[in-house]
Amino acid sequence: MNNLTQLPEWEQLASHQKTACNTTLSSMFDNDPDRAKSFSLEAGNIFLDYSKNHVNKDIMANLFRLARACHVPEHIFAMFSGEKINFTENRPALHVALRAPLHDSLRLGKHNIIQDVHHILNKIEKFVDLIEKGQWKGFQGDKITDIVNIGIGGSDLGPVMVVEALKAYHSTGIRPHFVSNVDACQLLDTLNTLNPGTTLFIISSKTFTTQETLTNAHSARDWFLQSANKEDIRKHFVAVSTNADAVSAFGIDTDNMFEFWDWVGGRYSLWSAIGLSIALTIGMSNFRSLLKGAHVMDEHFRTAPLESNLPATLALIGIWNTNFVGAKNHAILPYSQHLSRLPAYLQQLEMESNGKRTNQSGHYVNYSTCPIIWGEVGTNGQHAFYQLIHQGTPFISADFILIAQSPYSIKMHQDMLIANGIAQTEALMRGRSVQEAEALMLKEGVDLQEAKRLAPHRSFPGNRPTSTLFLPELSPETLGELIALYEHKVFVQGTIWNINSFDQWGVELGKKLAGQILSDLRDKNIRNHDSSTNHLMERYLKFRKN
């Protein structure tokens, strides 16, 4: 592909930018009573209103032309066909296969991998059934009551987010716990609440070499062996991995290893055996509903024309805001307490996928790629950082995620929650002028001189772009659709930015240096680094000694 910024479609969008941004969002609504209808879209159980963005019909038409110029439809076909779109690691990215029904076929060479996926799903189902019915006994003959998932990154963020999101669907009676940080306090705080005879540990690591995960796993094993014998490990430790030799060396029976494949990226892996902790908590029927919801969005993404394609449209709105409107920060604002882990999950999904500066030709790009992703649940965030979004100097775009019905019914709570979410999108769009602020204070009885003094402080520029995603309920199926929607959004944006959304080489350097520093600290060899690093190591050893 030619340099992205030299494409005629990009240049055309750049020519629209000044006019669009000099036109206020409120005036766009005032001039078009049908604007909300024109700039909204629905697929599966998800409704998207993107009318509160600086777009018009010409801009959207040019964005769709840009997507075609960047061969987005061809890339979608390539991903679903199993082509090696992860070109730096020479492998496909086939998370969509993890939620495909058994009757589908997706071949790598002559092998139908859908058969492999369902073989592992059936193995998970049998295991979940044994645990749920109490037929899998611990070393003291008791049923399992608690599970501890030990992983990090994609082996933790996805499962913990889904388990939290689907609290209303916890059905097996198993209590879930998650340990990811190598900081010992997280592991010890968890272990201090558990009985080794009724606890099952899930060690989740594709290679079974991840430093943080294996450190926590060995410490968990040491804790367990204070009460049990080595032969009891097989009743209390299972692995989600591809490395049978390392799993066996740890002491886990490889019959209790749940496999997945190198075409499953970590941040796309909750649908695989990495989701074992999810299935053990919400039950296999609900886990399959989660997969079904994702597959619904997969099929929509695969077959819908760009103009009616929900992930593609959300992606293009992001391209417009990031590359033309100037929003380098993007907030994820779910109005559901159970989605409290979604912003962190999407941080990894988006920033690890598209936080790149090198295009597919190996050249540095001269345009912005992924914005900074952050957020918090509403209404908590309203009383924290919304002040910055409303009146601060950074220009921030946002996704509001609203859930219409809650399984927890207290009169007026849900109405108040949704009213707040909708109100914030209106406030960020309209703002309040100095004149309006002054008139409001005069109406409240403030004298004219004081009203003029305070008006600049009580005015808001508005014109802040937001998109609203509305779901009827937060169920396994709708959550599956929502997660898959964001996965495909990220893929479309990476395609347009001409980067590889499926590698993460930036993670590797810090890991390598950490290993070297750990070795040097143990050997008290403080000479191998720059003066700041050496000084920090010396300071640490001094604190530890004291």
Divide the 546 residues of the chain into consecutive groups of 10 and give the mean pLDDT of each group: 88 91 93 96 98 97 98 98 95 97 93 96 98 97 98 97 98 97 98 98 94 96 97 97 95 95 95 98 98 98 98 98 96 98 98 96 95 97 97 97 93 95 98 97 97 97 97 98 98 98 90 90 89 95 88
Which amino acid would we find at residue 334?
P
Q: For residue 418, how far is the Cα from the chain centroid?
A: 23
Phi, psi at residue 379, to the nearest 5°?
Answer: -95, 0
DSSP codes, 155-195 = GTHHHHHHHHHTGGG--S-PEEEEE--SSHHHHHHHHTT--
The CATH architecture one would assign to domain 4-18+37-70+304-429+464-497 is 3-Layer(aba) Sandwich (3.40)
Looking at domain 95-288, its CATH superfamily turns out to be: Glucose-6-phosphate isomerase like protein; domain 1 (3.40.50.10490)
Question: What was the pLDDT predicted at 2?
Answer: 59
The catalytic residue positions are: 352, 383, 511
Q: Is the pTM of this model over 0.75?
A: yes
Residue ranges of the alpha helices (H) in 431-505?
434-443, 448-454, 476-497
Residue located via tokens 């409704």? 47
DSSP codes, 266-329 = GGG-TTTGGGHHHHHHH-HHHHHHHHHHHHHHHHHHHHS-GGG-HHHHHHHHHHHIIIII---E
- How do strand 111-112 and strand 146-150 relate by DSSP bridges? unpaired
Question: Which 3 state secondary structure label does DSSP give 546?
Answer: coil
- List the one residue out of 258, 161, 160, 158 whose CA is nearest residue 208: 258
Question: Which 3 state secondary structure label does DSSP give 260?
Answer: coil
Burial of 113 (0-12, 13-18, 19+ CB in 10 A): buried
Structure-token pair, residue 81: 């066909």
Question: Which 3 state secondary structure label does DSSP give 363?
Answer: coil
